[in-house]
Amino acid sequence: MSTLTNPPTGSQAPTLLRLATAGSVDDGKSTLVGRLLHDTKSVLADQFAAVERISRDRGLSSADLALLTDGLRAEREQGITIDVAYRYFATPRRSFVLADCPGHVQYTRNTVTGSSTADVVVLLVDARHGVVEQTRRHLAVVALLRVPHVVIAVNKIDLVDFSADVFADVDAQVQQVARELGIPDAVTVPVSALDGDNVVERSTRTPWYAGPALLELLEDLPTAEEPDAEPFRMPVQLVLRPQAAAPVPALRDYRGYAGQIGSGVVAVGDEVVVLPSGRRTRVSGIDLGPDELTRAYAPQSVAVRLADDVDVSRGDVIVAASSVPELTRESDALLAWLDERPLQPGARVLVKHGARTVKAIVDRVDSRLDLEALALQPAESLGLNDIGRVSLRLAGPLPLEPYVDSRRHGSFLVIDPSSGGTLAAGMVGVPGIWASDVLPDADAAEDWLAS
């Protein structure tokens, strides 16, 4: 193995921004994404030629840039986006991974998916309509997921004659909702995705707007926090013990624990704790493919070797000994419910946190977010696209950390045990209203957790 002694730190790594779009249907998300791709010269010549040909066939006088992101045939036929379409592009200053989320209410789950890992969400608002219910819903999702940055693209500003008064009115609406949801710095930009105003280049048709174009804003947003700003956490995804299958004799006794570092930095010699067993040991080696590292950091995928022969399995978490999270079997959580079947108290589900999946019971459904009042109201069930607070009881201990401290380690998925489908995205440690209820059929629930 070769040895890498000085891997790049977060500040030295290329700046990558994870970007998600959201907004109501027909607000122009796909056109905006297409405009970004086209005006940053991120579109292949033959791909753009195909878009021009399809646009001509539809009787359009110019290329429909929305076709650059509508990759599914069904989407093209319906003229809507029904899945999250990921695109990659770069400018001289930054690389982008872009998730184009659909706008229909029934696809809010895709907005949750796209926003969950995003550094910034660009939420489109039609300048003619201002803030609508779907805008409030998407802002609630953004606030719930604690997306670091929120940019509101007030689109179709050309259709209101580039009116400064209209933009100011929409900006006031957005800021009011953002304040009520606790979003600290929602930024608004007047754009015309169709014509390209204030998308990549600043527009001369909005002289009253002194701010940057959308792309300039995205290029200047602060990068993610330095890896060492959070304590080391690495869920174990695979135990590497080649034994007799080792390609060379020297590796027959190799034992490493592979996974993606979820947060923090780890170095050879660091004291760590394996959860849930709680065994302490030290890191004796870090491997990245054929290379040995002296130090690794999130989000690298590595194999960690330990000084002692401790019992480590897939699903365990190796954490810094200086900051060991508490294990819990009960948790209050906020769920973004993504299934058409409503969630009722007593539901038997699976909870997936990192690489570990455990059985769980939904003890109570306490409240549901009222999108009009932007407050949690008492509720007994959650329907599709509802956001609500529930109480969970787990069959095994999990190191659930407050979501306000860690987006990655404070979140989990709720899975249907019969189909394996995702039912909800969950977050723990989010402050809010809480109420109590009586668990129905408590004995049967205990049987489910123990089986």
Domain covering 233-320 assigned CATH 3.30.70.2860 in the classification: no
d(CA 91, CA 227): 24
265: Cβ–Cβ under 8 A, 6 or more apart, which residues? 227, 228, 232, 295, 296, 297, 298
The beta-strand segments (E) located in 237-315 are 238-240, 256-260, 265-267, 271-275, 279-288, 291-293, 295-297, 301-306
d(CA 42, CA 317): 40
Closest CA to 237 of 319, 321, 320, 313: 313
The distance from CA 404 to its chain's CA centroid, rounded to whole angstroms, is 14
Mean pLDDT in order along the chain per 10 residues (451 residues): 44 70 81 87 79 80 74 52 70 85 61 76 94 87 84 95 96 92 89 93 95 94 72 94 79 89 93 95 92 90 93 93 93 88 95 93 89 78 88 94 84 92 86 38 56 61
In this prediction, residue 162 carries a pLDDT of: 96
Helix (H, G, I), strand (E, B), or coil: what is residue 399? Answer: coil
190, 157 contact by CB (below 8 A): yes
In this prediction, residue 110 carries a pLDDT of: 66
423, 147 contact by CB (below 8 A): no
Q: Which helix (H) or strand (E) holds 109?
A: helix 108-116
Domain boundaries, the chain: 15-220, 233-320, 328-434
Helix (H, G, I), strand (E, B), or coil: what is residue 288? Answer: strand
Bond into 276 cis (ω within 30): yes
d(CA 87, CA 320): 35
| 3-state class percentages of the chain: helix first, strand second, coil last, to nearest 5 | 25, 35, 45
Q: Cβ of 367: how many Cβ atoms within 10 Å?
A: 22
Phi then psi for residue 351, to 5 deg, are -115, 125
Question: In the CATH scheme, what is the code of domain 15-220?
Answer: 3.40.50.300
d(CA 35, CA 425): 31
Closest CA to 154 of 116, 203, 117: 203
Helix (H, G, I), strand (E, B), or coil: what is residue 167? Answer: helix
In this prediction, residue 359 carries a pLDDT of: 95
Question: In the CATH scheme, what is the code of domain 328-434?
Answer: 2.40.30.10
257, 236 contact by CB (below 8 A): yes
352, 425 contact by CB (below 8 A): no
Q: Cβ of 440: how many Cβ atoms within 10 Å?
A: 12
- pTM exceeding 0.75: no
DSSP string, 346-393: T-EEEEEETTEEEEEEEEEEEEEEETTTTEEEE-S-B-TT-EEEEEEE
The beta-strand segments (E) located in 127-231 are 149-155, 186-190
Angle at 431 between CA 428 and CA 434, to 5 degrees: 90
449: Cβ–Cβ under 8 A, 6 or more apart, which residues? 359, 360, 361, 393, 394, 395
Closest CA to 306 of 393, 243, 241: 241
How is residue 183 written in tokens?
A: 């979003």
Side-chain half-sphere CA neighbours of 318 within 13 A: 32
In this prediction, residue 97 carries a pLDDT of: 86
In this prediction, residue 57 carries a pLDDT of: 81
Q: Kindly state the greatest CA–CA separation across the chain.
A: 75
Q: Which helix (H) or strand (E) holds 215?
A: helix 214-220
Is 233-320 the same fold as 15-220?
A: no
403, 426 contact by CB (below 8 A): no
